[in-house]
Amino acid sequence: MPSVAVKLYSVFFKFLLKHRLQNRIQTPLDQSSNPYGVTTRPEESVSASNPSFTDGVATKDIHIDPFTSLSIRIFLPESSLSPPEQPEPKSKPKLSQQDDPNYLIHRRNSYGPPNIGAPKNDPRRSSFEVLNLRSENNAYRGYSPFPQNCRKLPIVLQFHGGGWVSGSNDSVANDFFCRRIAKLCDVIVVAVGYRLAPENKYPAAFEDGLKVLNWLGKQANLAECSKSMGSGARGVGAEFTKAEVQRHIVDAFGASMVEPWLAAHGDPSRCVLLGVSCGANIADYVARKAVEAGRLLDPVKVVAQVLMYPFFIGNVPTQSEIKLANSYFYDKAMCLLAWKLFLPEEEFSLDHPAANPLIPNRSPPLKLMPPTLTVVAEHDWMRDRAIAYSEALRKVNVDAPVLEYKDAVHEFATLDMLLKTPQAEACAEDIAIWVKKYISLRGHEFSY
């Protein structure tokens, strides 16, 4: 059973959540409707972005849609600044960071201050010099959109939880969780700040998720275009200034600009979707749309998805929905309130495509879905339907294991007070082991 502290916190949590949900339901739609939308609530604590590799991860926020509040937070692990792994000479003793005056240069020999002392014909030089790798406060300021010999990392597109009506990609808890995933999986995490209900009902959050996936593809194409301009437009060895590159990109693509962190370090051909609670519903929707789009999404390729205690429901109750209806933190009554706030009144149904992943004739066929890891908790009333979805995927030969955690509650690995528990740490490590099977360039020998 969960600890006494968890039980007490659950009572307090449900009291506040019920009060907030009821207040939002009582708000007239004409007052709450807002096409621009909101992505966070004033009562929630948020963590400011920090480009200084605090705890080994740098972050930045980007507003990617001028017509809505859709935004993202990028989590870049410090390991991305290392050059491709190369064996070190055995005869040369390894110096500590404090003793090695050229530590930054050795660590990032394809960046700046790039190759100080290297001859002009040194192949390590890029046609674009790095723009002050770090400032005095250790912030990662930026660099060329396409430095040579940089390390490319997979991209994890993450969707936070919160029952459609709360939570944010920059909350303290989500920031902590995404940092953990970025370091354990050695990936760039892109946390999506989708629009919340009731200001924006279905399908706003789902459309935002798909919009970010398409934005990743656009960024990859912009970066490749920039690279072509730099390497071929003036001939081999010619150099553009930073201003010239930006002018060329703006002339060709309007206001579109290359996002330098993703251009230098992101590998969209190894993209993983990770959804938490209701975010898992969004991840599954985005995965389906990615399957339908096929090569139209190139160079983005969704290679796997992780569904953490998904927010699935249906008209015909499962055994866990009956037995655990009054479970911890998110019980069935409050989740129904959240669904009423999210789904338009004329479309409300527990068998809505956004709610039930196993309704008949849902496209595309399950056999085309990407490998799917499902995480469930013993004391979560939604667990059985998530397990049923995983079983349906396995029946059509999709790699779809289930990780069930004993004595765990809904959001046990992502809720603020539970983030540092052994279960939360073990869950993140288990996710990393599985994900590495599909993002490793060399493959991974461990399999569930």
Q: Which residues belong to the active site?
A: 277, 380, 410
Given the structure tokens 């999986």, which residue do they identify? Answer: 185
Q: What are phi and psi of 272, to 5 degrees?
A: -120, 135
**Angstrom distance (rounded) from CA 275 to CA 209:** 10
**Angstrom distance (rounded) from CA 212 to CA 202:** 17
Largest CA distance in the chain: 74
**Angstrom distance (rounded) from CA 425 to CA 427:** 5
Q: Give 304's strand partners.
A: 272
DSSP character at residue 50: -
User: Which residue pairs from 437-444 have beta carbons closer than 8 angstroms and sit at least 24 positions apart in sequence?
Assistant: 437/304, 437/371, 438/270, 438/272, 438/303, 438/304, 438/371, 439/154, 439/185, 439/187, 439/270, 439/272, 439/303, 439/304
What are the DSSP calls for 285-335, one per residue? HHHHHHHHHGGGGTT--EEEEEEES-----SS--HHHHHTTT-SSS-HHHH
